[in-house]
A = this chain, B = another copy of it.
Amino acid sequence: VHLLVVNCNTSHEISETIDKNAKSVASPGTTITTVTPTWGPASAEGFLESFVTAAAVLDTVACYQGDVDAIVMAGFGEHGREGMRQLVDVPVVDVTESSAYLAALVSFRFAIITTLKATIPGIEMSLHQAGILDRCSEIVAIELPVLQINEDVEATVNALAEAASAPLRRGADAIVLGCAGFAGLDQWLQERLGVPVIDGVTSAVALAEVLVRLGKRTSKRGPFAPSLAKRWTGWPVSAAPRQRRLPISGAIA
């Protein structure tokens, strides 16, 4: 099983965090390749960056050469997921919905802790589209920019633990870590808080493996069917694709 994990920003440090955590839960026999877009913002925090990064992520996958069995989208609350499901026919598993589904299996209502308040509307839209927003009691932000997460891990864990207390007091009984950059902090936080703490990257890797194992692929009958062949200009943006191995929907001239 070969999983292609796509970071949603241009920061290689974040890609490394994602890659390390994705590999930490991969089953024997699963190989992980983590890729980083070549253009776009260093972190995606809010609508503008999210829409730019959505295209950059699609571009990255459109240019990837190699066989993959499933794609993991490692941007919490970012746009573009449904576009990816139209682009390829292997399973596409997004960290947002994955962590929400798993949290829903071990709790009654989960809360999400994210980085900046600016990312909250995107997370809400993503969960709404995934159909699981009703299980989320609230989304809170620690107002720590993504790019500062790794500067002081202990401070980050402390901020997450502190931020979790109000939602837990108001009725949540599990926590979802609302940023791919938080990958690896779930176990620490789970022990500290005494409730399930769910991380997106590891959730998505595990669910991608499940879908491959059960022989499921993205449906090509409805809105994810290939689009009509038509003229495209300057796309994919990042490079001239030669030997694309991923099933690409539509003809790109």
Could you tell me which A residues sit within 8 Å of B by CB distance?
Answer: 10, 25, 27, 38-43, 45-52, 54-56, 58, 79-80, 82-87, 91-93, 97-98, 101-102, 104-109, 116, 118, 120-121, 125, 128-135, 145, 147, 168, 171-174, 187, 190, 194-196, 198, 202-203, 206-207, 210-211, 213-225, 227-228, 230-235, 237-238, 249-250
Given contacts A134-B131, A225-B118, are A106 and B217 in contact (CB under 8 A)? yes
Complex contact A83–B222 (CB within 8 A)? no
Please name all residues of chain B whose beta carbon is closer than 8 Å to the beta carbon of A214 when the two chains form the complex: 25, 102, 198, 202-203, 206
Q: Tell me, in angstroms, the Cα distance from A215 to B206 when the chains sit together.
A: 12
Distance in Å: Cβ of A66 to nearest Cβ of chain B: 20
Complex CA–CA separation, A230 to B52 (angstroms): 14
Residue pair B102, A211 in contact (C-beta under 8 Å): yes
- A–B complex contacts, Cβ < 8 Å, 7 sampled: A47-B86, A102-B210, A105-B211, A107-B224, A108-B219, A174-B219, A237-B237
Q: A118-B227, A222-B107 are in contact. Are A234 and B47 (CB under 8 A)?
A: no
Known: A47-B86, A51-B54, A232-B42. A109 touches B218 (CB 8 A): no
Would A108 and B48 count as touching, CB distance under 8 A?
A: no
A234 x B194 contact (CB < 8 A): no
Q: Which residue of B lies closest to A227 (CB)?
A: B46
Interface centre among A38, A47, A87, A104 (most CB of B within 10 A): A47
Given contacts A101-B101, A108-B222, A198-B216, contact A227 B45 (CB under 8 A): yes
Considering the chains assembled together, what is the distance between the CA atoms of A213 and B211 in angstroms? 16
Using Cβ atoms and an 8 Å threshold, which residues of chain B touch A187?
Answer: 215
